[in-house]
Chains A and B, each alone.
Chain A
Amino acid sequence: AQKVTQAQTEISVVEKEDVTLDCVYETRDTTYYLFWYKQPPSGELVFLIRRNSFDEQNEISGRYSWNFQKSTSSFNFTITASQVVDSAVYFCALSEARRAAGNKLTFGGGTRVLVKP
């Protein structure tokens, strides 16, 4: 069965500090997809990134960067120079592409990030 673990439940930083969110996953499939979503106080889940299991290149998008390491089953997320607007709950999720019964997302428990001015 697939599982996603986000060991950090809450991280508090001061604006402009960097913050790294850890994500460790378990799956028996060789083909899968990993995601990060942001959930601000308004409640809507906002898609940030999707990676497939064959692409281990790290990715940078503005102040966001992602480090995918298949050897350690980790997909970590870093916010550089954090801002107050980054305050939210961040979820890591896994989808097994070859499931016969569809591609449900299995979410981690989330990490709440609080950025103080």
Chain B
Amino acid sequence: EAGVAQSPRYKIIEKRQSVAFWCNPISGHATLYWYQQILGQGPKLLIQFQNNGVVDDSQLPKDRFSAERLKGVDSTLKIQPAKLEDSAVYLCASSPRSRTDTQYFGPGTRLTVL
């Protein structure tokens, strides 16, 4: 079974530019998560989707971050405009259905903002 796919793996941009990350969850997984992991810290949830609806986006900086999961499968996370403090690894995870299910993570996208 294929795991969670993410692209790109690495991205370098200048501050105030825009960037987008893509995630394809494990086939059949209804729940999708985006986490931000700053160097030396544990991941922090940005947004959680159940199918194509948002369950929790309480920690998403909505003035610059947006995310969508239009058909309940793939998801895109966008930052516009980027700030220096957005430099981090952005991890996508998915889980089958229930809120108690284990989350499986993708390889992440490492973003560097100069």
- Residues of chain A at the chain B interface (Cβ within 8 Å): 4, 33, 35, 37, 42-47, 50, 52, 91, 93, 95, 97, 99, 101-105, 107-110
Q: In the assembled complex, which residues on chain A have CB atoms less than 8 Å from the CB atom of B100?
A: 33, 52, 95, 97, 103
B72 at the interface (CB under 8 A from A): no
Contacting B56 at CB < 8 Å: which of A42, A104, A107? Answer: A104
Expressed in whole angstroms, the Cα–Cα distance for A91 and B56 within the complex equals 22
The contact size tier of chain B is: 20 to 34
* Bound CA span A99–B100, Å: 10
Asked whether, in the complex, the Cβ of A108 is within 8 Å of the Cβ of B42, the reply is yes
A-B CB contact pairs (8 Å), 30 listed: A4-B42, A33-B100, A37-B105, A43-B107, A43-B108, A44-B106, A45-B91, A45-B93, A47-B105, A50-B102, A52-B100, A91-B42, A91-B43, A101-B58, A102-B48, A102-B55, A102-B56, A103-B99, A103-B100, A103-B101, A104-B48, A104-B56, A107-B43, A108-B42, A109-B40, A109-B41, A109-B42, A110-B40, A110-B41, A110-B42
CA distance A107 to B106 in the complex (A): 16
Residue of B with least CB distance to A6: B42
